[in-house]
Structure 1
């Protein structure tokens, strides 16, 4: 029998003596998630965002069971179900079209108690924003942060001061930097420039109309059997990973459709057919952020960071957004245990927050780097060994639980050797089963 659904957290009410004023910099998924979790624990939340408006950005996003567990605990299941699609299966296919292995998402979802979900990022983002506002969080746009200062209040508490580029100031008991991979907050915390680390990859991201795909029997199978469809099945999400050729100083650039099509002309014949339906495409440079040392937080206890600002990862585990949501939830849970507003209390809360999150996010970044290599190996002995492992670990499909050490030993394999990362013997056993509340306790 699988796990039960998580308990929905009810909003706490605090008196003035134990309520923090929290300022969140960045209204992305991580910032909004932190706003929800912190507001649920009874603190006051204000979000500032550099953009002039909250608009529709991005394409598809995968939400794994560990992340949907967080969303369920925030009381968002019903609001999100209308936007979500439930993928049935994930197939691992050779670039020439032969299926090597697969994973049944329903099997894992039943065991874990929460689903694999696919969304258009804009839909998930909007519902997070709505939930944050519903809980009392406020939002201010056109507010780009230049620096962070610190003041001492009359009672001796340290107050964080976010200084905006227009000279305005926003004060709070705690400032949370959730400003993404090109984080100004990270550089402020470090006291120096710290650009994202290039990985040599870029992603072509495109959305296709499923109505066009359904006209071709070969393409129809992508929708009916294995899918990454969005918005009620109207759009098919596709991501193509290739070597990075974006000019220096840019992270996103318009793509050339014909150039992209030429790169995949001799692949599985279904791929050129899919790309023939593409009208326009964007290129996204893939970067990472190694974990900050020695800490994610300022010594005063008045400033910390989360999400991509702290530990941006490659997309090969589909876990970048999930780690940001977990960060925000854990931070809120830690702040929920405060009984006052002293610096000592804030420091302890941030210490527990980072202790819960650092090792896990480091492992996600490391495995994402490994998956980059595993997915991109050229045909030859290393590719043949990868495919052998994929087939070998397929024997555990349908069991609903991991195999024991003895059985793995008899096969001559170990835990985490499965190149299919979400299966139990990839990293599924620790990635998908994580419960924020248990870690904080």
Structure 2
């Protein structure tokens, strides 16, 4: 049996070495960062634009790399009642023909102590919020931040809300998501997300009617993740909340009007059903149970620039700088890793009563910590964004030679690099799923410290 992931204990810091951290955004990236920074012993306050912390219904898959972070933050006990444990991931053709599958239990053995689980996003977010509050994190809602300014001496930054309220901290963390505007505050220029040409229909069903249908009941009684791959579209589904809810995401070409400013709009159930009427008969059956649906425009972004302000008082993370297509189920994982790495870096700041956070030694250490954070995160998140773009093509082949070659590779044992079931791709899986943020920080910290020491001797 694999040893459990070590739970990080909250550090105690003298006030003189305790950063005042302001986090903008209470999504998964913001709340995860708040937990990690609080565990590092810093004073943390989260600002959220919404009137309350309330996540709309959606499912989320947690992969081994994400589970490592969540366990490290001490969340496994609170998350356990909300988990669904999927047995297998099936890849199917759009007509329902079986292509290949991956057993989750077998895959977990490659990453000791970790797991695959499915959650309702609202449950996951609530557990993060509860943990943050338990660690002393403050929260202010209805605080839509429109401006971030750095002090003249560069030691602090101030976030200003739409109604003129201000919050000043030693470090502001921007985590306002793919459609947020704080990246533009950092850069001083427009930086819009990139449309991918795809949109997602999000569907959440009660399983009550499904369990009456012999063709659908297995989806509930035998928890599984299913991908159907078809021309220009694909569908994903899995069960949530102990079999009470069924989550479906259906990807089709983006037809949201260009002038639409909202990334999510009300969808049309009949339009969605028409898209999938000729697919595996189980999909139309499921969609007939749907009463309403949302359309979600899929955009990406990758910040190929410094995510940290030169002062070291303002840093960006999460989807605000590296939003990927959801086709690796890794967006939340990258945000959790961001928060974990940043907290680990900030835990290595000086922690003794004879030093002040305004001293040269401390400020230099803070700059070093943010440098290491970016070194750890930029290349890895770029990899995920780029691989998500590749999955877009792999999933949406029309029937023909390319589709047949994709399916042939997925049926090989072992499968070759670049295969469509990315979680077992020998060129990606270990790198993506086996990530250890502490080991990464250790390595990068030593590299950066060695480089700095060599430069100082020149």
TM-score class, shorter-chain normalisation, is over 0.9
1:386 to 402, 406, 427: 406
TM-score when normalising by structure 1: 0.92
Give distance in 2, aligned partners of 1:351 and 1:217: 56
1:221 to 218, 222, 239: 218
Give distance in 1, aligned partners of 2:280 and 2:48: 43
* Residue matched to 1:208: 205
**Equivalence map 1:17-32=2 (5 Å):** 17-32=16-31
Give distance in 2, aligned partners of 1:247 and 1:4: 52
Which residues of structure 2 form unaligned runs of 5+? 226-237, 351-355, 443-458
Query: In structure 1, the residue corresponding to 2:423 is in which secondary structure?
Result: coil
Give distance in 1, aligned partners of 2:150 and 2:291: 50
* Residue matched to 2:162: 165
Query: In structure 2, the residue corresponding to 1:349 is in which secondary structure?
Result: helix
1:280 to 274, 287, 292: 292
Offset, 1:192: 1.1
* Residue matched to 2:456: none
Cα deviation digits, residues 106-144 of structure 1 (max 9, x gap): 111233121101000000000100000000000001111
**Equivalence map 1:193-204=2 (5 Å):** 193-204=190-201
Give distance in 1, aligned partners of 2:395 and 2:37: 38
Give distance in 1, aligned partners of 2:286 and 2:122: 23
* Residue matched to 2:434: 433
| 1:177/1:303 contact within 8 Å kept | yes
Query: In structure 2, the residue corresponding to 1:286 is in which secondary structure?
Result: strand
Offset, 1:343: 2.7
Give distance in 2, aligned partners of 1:234 and 1:129: 24
* Residue matched to 1:316: 327
Query: In structure 2, the residue corresponding to 1:425 is in which secondary structure?
Result: coil
* Residue matched to 2:271: 259
Give distance in 1, aligned partners of 2:239 and 2:95: 23
Which residues of structure 1 form unaligned runs of 5+? 397-407
RMSD between superposed Cα atoms in Å: 1.3
* Match status 1:357 vs 2:377: yes
| 2:175/2:320 contact within 8 Å kept | yes
Show structure 1 runs of 4+ deviating over 4 A.
none
Offset, 1:219: 0.8
* Residue matched to 2:248: 238
* Residue matched to 2:88: 89
| Pairs aligned (count) | 417
Offset, 1:271: 0.9
**Equivalence map 1:30-429=2 (5 Å):** 30-112=29-111, 113-152=113-152, 158-225=155-222, 226-227=224-225, 228-248=238-258, 249-293=261-305, 295-339=306-350, 341=357, 342-392=362-412, 395-396=413-414, 413=416, 416-425=417-426, 427-429=428-430
Give distance in 2, aligned partners of 1:219 and 1:354: 46
